[in-house]
Amino acid sequence: MNKLTPKAAFRKLAAIYDKMVARYDEVAGPIGMTCEGCADNCCLSFFQHHTYVEWAYMWEGLNRLPADRLEDIQARARDYVDRAQAALARGERPHLMCPLNIDEKQGICGLYDHRLMICRMHGVPNLLTRHTGQEVRFPGCYRCQDLTKDMAEVPFVDRTPMYKDLVLLEMQFVGKNLCALPKVDHTIAEMIVIGPPRLK
């Protein structure tokens, strides 16, 4: 399998993201699902991300920001990591605002075009079929569950094809070193604090 250049990989990733957004919208529309005015901001959720290609793409976006904006985000990311580690040490799940959020009241992402997969897919009901054939279903966020509680048939996003595309892209992006590299299991804040991923 030929290794992709970052530019080619990012172009493919953007196309996968476009599919995700389209499928999300197809499901969110009939449900009447919007994030406007939601008190349970998903930017406060403790998500961990698992691909080098998304990590690198996020940094491609970060490097386009003005220096002062990037420094502010990095400072907030360091604070996030410290507070998250303290919460985990207490046996609590962190409930902290993502350092990329530039308007906590409205939940505006400062890196919207480069936001990661989970940030794009969270909220609506979805399905994932594991390689074992096991189906894992997610009912959607609290607002979505409230909107769908009386629906006879709840629409959902099948994430499986898009996940397969992302896994293949990860292999093409990282290349032969994939099995030798540490497994990615980081929050956005940790990815910011660590810096761009090293693939060697």
Which residues, at least 6 apart from 45, have a Cβ–Cβ distance to it below 8 Å? 95, 122
CB 155 within 8 A of CB 149: no
User: Mean pLDDT of residues grouped by 10 in the chain (200 residues)?
Assistant: 89 96 94 80 87 97 96 97 97 94 76 92 92 92 92 94 95 89 95 94
Instruction: Output the pLDDT for position 165.
Output: 96
Instruction: Output the pLDDT for position 92.
Output: 96
**Strand ranges in 76-174 using DSSP code E only, listed in sequence order:** 101-103, 108-109, 126-129, 135-138, 157-158
Instruction: Output the pLDDT for position 108.
Output: 79
| Whole-angstrom distance, CA of residue 61 vs CA of residue 63 | 5
Domain boundaries, the chain: 6-193
Instruction: Output the pLDDT for position 106.
Output: 61
| Whole-angstrom distance, CA of residue 21 vs CA of residue 32 | 16
| Whole-angstrom distance, CA of residue 38 vs CA of residue 60 | 29
Instruction: Output the pLDDT for position 51.
Output: 96
Instruction: Output the pLDDT for position 131.
Output: 87
Instruction: Output the pLDDT for position 163.
Output: 93
Instruction: Output the pLDDT for position 114.
Output: 95
Instruction: Output the pLDDT for position 41.
Output: 73
